[in-house]
Amino acid sequence: MTSSRHDGDTWDLASSVGATATMAAAARAIATREDSTLFSDRFAEPLVRAVGVDLLAKLASGETGSGTLVGRIWIDAAKIRGKFYDEFFLDASAAGIAQAVLLASGLDSRSYRLPWPDGTVVYEIDQEPVVEFKARTLAGLGAEPTADRRPVAVDLRDDWPAALRAAGFDPAQPTAWSAEGLLGYLPPEAQDRLLDTITELSAPGSRVATENRPNPRPGDEDKTKERLDRISEQWRGEGFHTDMTRLRYFGERNEAAPYLSGLGWTVRGSTVRELLAANGLPPLQDDDLRMGDLRYIRGVLA
């Protein structure tokens, strides 16, 4: 049984929140195999296999069909989310931004996959076992970074700006920041602090991309927890011991989009429901997980 989150908890890619990075990469692997026209991540499958969580490796490689083990939305959301963040960074590069920071980089392979312009520096922040594993595994596969990739092994609840600066980050240059699949794993006040700090470290013209989860309506979270409990139970039945309800922080928090607007960012974005339709993907069957109103947002600092 996964224990509840607490200050200073740690993990690798097979445990606690670290396993969510492997789940996200498994979804990208399935999405890529299914239809790589919207989004493609050729490193997702080998990375997941290397982590060694049997169920996720079999799902990623197609040996086990996603069927009832994985909801349709899990795969379709990986497609639209992957496309959204790829386009965000490509647009930022086209606008001349040469410094990117992937907050909670997990098994994100963008620094090995995207055509970054020469001279672009990409900082990847995550817990030490996570950044170390990805670099070692991709090197073992013979993959070369397509940017000047700089891993920053630090907990985002600690003094990560100091670690980022020590790796060479220059706050005087505009930055493209991503916080993909991260905010729900931070307590509400840590989310605010993260967005405050990003803003403090951002020169004018900087950009940010993340997700805005709307605050729950009465009864919403009970439904979400029940669904996550059912999925976790099914996965435990397949030998993967996770408890997704315990990994996320629930309850009210400042929503990211208005919070960023209040800090001076001009923010726009689209909901998952809108992006499914815009990309010709099937609509949600049910929305117990409240994915439909999740909004992928991007902001520019004036």
Ligand X SMILES: C[S@@+](CC[C@H](N)C(=O)[O-])C[C@H]1O[C@@H](n2cnc3c(N)ncnc32)[C@H](O)[C@@H]1O
Per CB under 6 A, residues contacting ligand X are: 17-18, 20-21, 24-25, 104-108, 126-127, 130, 155-157, 180-182, 185
* 60: nearest Cα among 43, 77, 79: 43
- In the complex with ligand X, the residue whose CB is nearer, 167 or 203, is 167
- In the complex with ligand X, the residue whose CB is nearer, 107 or 198, is 107
* 209: nearest Cα among 256, 262, 274: 256
Dist. CA 183–CA 53, nearest whole Å: 24
Cβ of residue 2: shortest distance to ligand X, in angstroms? Answer: 14
- In the complex with ligand X, the residue whose CB is nearer, 36 or 266, is 36
Dist. CA 158–CA 137, nearest whole Å: 26
- In the complex with ligand X, the residue whose CB is nearer, 217 or 272, is 272
Cβ of residue 12: shortest distance to ligand X, in angstroms? Answer: 9
State the DSSP H helix or E strand holding residue 232, giving kind and residue range, or none if neither.
helix 220-237
Dist. CA 211–CA 221, nearest whole Å: 18
Give residue 61's identity as a one-letter amino acid code: S
Cβ of residue 80: shortest distance to ligand X, in angstroms? Answer: 13
* 134: nearest Cα among 103, 110, 156, 107: 107
- In the complex with ligand X, the residue whose CB is nearer, 82 or 299, is 82
Query: With contact defined as beta carbons under 8 Å apart, do 89 and 100 qualify?
Result: yes
Cβ of residue 71: shortest distance to ligand X, in angstroms? Answer: 16
- In the complex with ligand X, the residue whose CB is nearer, 21 or 101, is 21
Cβ of residue 23: shortest distance to ligand X, in angstroms? Answer: 7
Q: 149 forms bridges with which residues in the sheet?
A: 122
- Which residue of the chain is nearest ligand X when measured via CB? 106
Contacts (Cβ under 8 Å, ≥6 apart) of 282: 72, 76, 276
Cβ of residue 218: shortest distance to ligand X, in angstroms? Answer: 27
- In the complex with ligand X, the residue whose CB is nearer, 121 or 131, is 131
Measured in Å, how far apart are the chain's first and last C-alpha atoms?
Answer: 46
Token readout for 269 is: 């974005």
Cβ of residue 219: shortest distance to ligand X, in angstroms? Answer: 25
